[in-house]
Amino acid sequence: MGGAKTLAKMPQVGARLADGSVVPTGETVRGWIGPDAFEQWTALQDWIERRHPGVFTPEWLFGGRKHGWSLRYKKSRAFCTFVPEYRLFSVVIVLGAAEREKFEARRGSLNPRLVGLYDATATYHDGKWLKIAISSAADLHDAIEVLTIKRPGRRPG
C-alpha cells in the first residue's frame, strides 16, 4: 500500500522544476531530466559556446509554479531557452519574420519531422515559438539547424 502512495507522489513526465526558492544547479537538472537528456543539454550548451564564444550569459528564469525554471540564452534578443522537464529536455526558439523566411527557404533540406513541428506551431505577433523536445542526437541536430538559421555564428575551426 505504501508503494502506491510513493508512486502517486512521483512527478509526471514533462513536469517542470517548480521550486522557486532554489536556482537549479547542473546536478539538479541532471537528476530531473535524466542522464541521457542531460547529455543532450550539455552538448547544446557546448555547441552554443563554441559557435558564439562569449556572446551569451545563460540566465535562469522562474516562471512560477506552472512554468517552473528555464535557462535563457540572450544578448539583446533571446537566442533560445532551455526547458528542463521531468525526464525531458526541450529548447524553445522564437523565430521572427526574417528567420521564418530563412526557414522557408531551407524547408526542403530540413528533417520532415522538424518541418511538421514548424508547420504545426502557431505564429504570434512576435513570431513562432518553436518548442523542440530533445531526446536524441537527431533532435539535437534539428535544434542546431534552427539555431543556425536564427543566428549563424562563427564556423567551428
Write out pLDDT tens, residues 71-106: 999 998 889 999 999 999 999 999 999 999 999 999
> Which CATH number is 15-150's, of 3.30.390, 3.90.1150, 3.40.50, 1.10.1060?
3.90.1150
Distances (CA, A) of 14 to 67, 88, 133: 11, 6, 10
Q: What is the pLDDT of residue 6?
A: 53
Among 35, 33, 4, CA closest to 91: 33
Write out pLDDT tens, residues 97-134: 999 999 999 999 999 999 999 999 999 998 999 999 99
Residue recorded with cell 557546448:
46
Retrieve residue 138's grid coordinates.
Answer: 537527431
- Between 20-24, 25-29, 45-49, 129-133, the lowest mean confidence (pLDDT) is in 20-24
Distance CA 88, CA 11 (A): 12
Average pLDDT over residues 7-20: 75
Extended strands (E) in the chain:
59-62, 69-74, 78-85, 88-95, 123-124, 127-133
Q: What is the pLDDT of residue 51?
A: 94
- Tell me, yes or no, if the pTM score tops 0.85: yes
Higher per-residue pLDDT: 30 or 57 = 30
Residue 85's φ and ψ, nearest 5 degrees, are -120, 155
Distance CA 86, CA 91 (A): 14
Write out pLDDT tens, residues 135-157: 899 999 999 999 999 998 776 55
The secondary element (H helix, E strand) that includes residue 105 is helix 97-106
CB contact at 8 A, 93 and 73: no
Higher per-residue pLDDT: 15 or 84 = 84
Average pLDDT over residues 29-45: 95
Q: What is the pLDDT of residue 23?
A: 93
Among 53, 139, 138, 152, CA closest to 102: 152
| 92 bridge partner residues | 81, 131
Structural domain boundaries of the chain? 15-150
Is the model's pLDDT at 3 over the cut of 90?
Answer: no
